[in-house]
Amino acid sequence: MGFLSSRRKRARLAPELDDQELGRLLKSLLATTRTGTIATTDLCAAQLSRLLDQDPGDWDRRTHRISVLADFLTASRLPASWAAREPRNATALVLHAWSQAARTHAEGHPGDTDDAVEACLRAAELAPDDPTPWVALLKVARRQRWKQPQVFGVWNEVLARDRWNREAYMNMLGYLTPEEGGSRLQVLEFVDALCARMPSNAPCAATELTAQVFQYHAILGRGGYEALVARTHWSQGMAAQALDRVVHTWAQPGFLRHASALADLNLLAYALMAGDRRAEARPVFEAIGGTVTAWPWQTGGDPLTEFEQAQRRATVGQ
């Protein structure tokens, strides 16, 4: 019990990951948006603009921050209010569209996102070099179940601006699954094409492993005997190869340098423990340092509990 108690103090859900400035902004927004006044909207918009306009050209960091903020503000009127006040602010427009896509996803239906489409296109005109309007549009297209030629058109716009954009690859992967707009074969072709040319430490490096976790979850979801022996997924074929390719490099200090590196390490730790590769998972848990992502741990229940139990099994060897 003492071991788990100490783990609980150190492990925490942190959507901002190791982005301390983003973490401080989330806390500030949580405190200030409760008043709901016009002055509060202005203050929050200024804070958002200050953070999101930092480091021009660092599209990886910008995409991560917009994604986290959009999820955080899903139920808030702030993104819409900011976009309405500053209709020629590309950042405000992107955050508004992204938060709309996040809200429809949370509500489980496509919803009316025509306004989000328009916001993305206006933002793209205002900031032609910025990939985030196109990433936001890709998310909207996915929610609206656009046809593949349209989706791939948006996808190509992202790649023209940010070749290895993690968020874009994750959304295309989700779109191409059998549960959405594609098939298992399309997923395999997409991943194979990426692995053939991608640097091993690119921001989208976790695409292949994410695809294998999706397939593992699909097996668990079928129940019965297949679910009982789902662990064997990780010792066979492409799943084992996906783990073998990254297990000895990702946890090395400085190897993964992109904004969502800790999310990728959470994914790796989860997959290693699902495959009962405990010794290999230990250094990954050490690299994570207690910064927990909700997915994929939430698949088995409370994500913090699942993380802590997996970490304990890896460390203690039970």
pLDDT 10s digits, 132-183 = 999 999 999 999 999 999 999 999 999 999 999 999 999 999 999 998 989 9
Which amino acid type is present at position 88?
Answer: R
pTM of the model: 0.93
Which amino acid type is present at position 264?
Answer: D
Q: What is the DSSP letter of 253?
A: T
The pLDDT score that the predictor gives to residue 55 is: 86
The pLDDT score that the predictor gives to residue 39 is: 59
Query: Residue ranges per domain, the chain?
Result: 1-15+199-318, 33-163
- How far apart are the C-alpha atoms of 103 and 116, rounded to whole Å? 11
Fold classification of 33-163 is 1.25.40
Phi, psi angle pair for 52, to nearest 5°: -75, -20
- How far apart are the C-alpha atoms of 274 and 251, rounded to whole Å? 18
Element (H, E) at 292: strand 291-292
The CA distances from residue 208 to 7, 33, 169, 198, 245, in Å, are: 30, 38, 10, 11, 10
The pLDDT score that the predictor gives to residue 5 is: 42
The pLDDT score that the predictor gives to residue 61 is: 98
The pLDDT score that the predictor gives to residue 6 is: 43
Q: Reply yes or no: is the peptide bond before residue 296 cis, omega within 30 of 0.
A: yes
Grade residue 34 by pLDDT with cuts at 50, 70 and 90: low
By mean pLDDT, which of 6-15, 73-82, 119-128, 303-312 is the weakest? 6-15
- How far apart are the C-alpha atoms of 158 and 274, rounded to whole Å? 33
Q: Taking 90 as the threshold, does the pLDDT of residue 37 lie above it?
A: no
| Beta carbons within 10 angstroms of residue 13's beta carbon | 14
pLDDT 10s digits, 194-205 = 999 999 999 999
Percent of the chain scored above 90 by pLDDT?
82
Three-state DSSP class for residue 40: helix
pLDDT 10s digits, 56-111 = 899 999 999 999 999 999 989 999 999 999 999 999 999 999 999 999 887 776 66
Grade residue 292 by pLDDT with cuts at 50, 70 and 90: very high
Instruction: State the residue for tokens 């297990």.
Output: 247
- How far apart are the C-alpha atoms of 7 and 12, rounded to whole Å? 9
Q: Taking 50 as the threshold, does the pLDDT of residue 219 lie above it?
A: yes
Asked if residues 19 and 64 have their Cβ atoms less than 8 Å apart, the reply is yes
Asked if residues 313 and 283 have their Cβ atoms less than 8 Å apart, the reply is no
Three-state DSSP class for residue 12: strand
Mean pLDDT along residues 238-242: 96
Three-state DSSP class for residue 13: strand
The pLDDT score that the predictor gives to residue 23 is: 97
Q: Taking 80 as the threshold, does the pLDDT of residue 38 lie above it?
A: no
The pLDDT score that the predictor gives to residue 119 is: 97
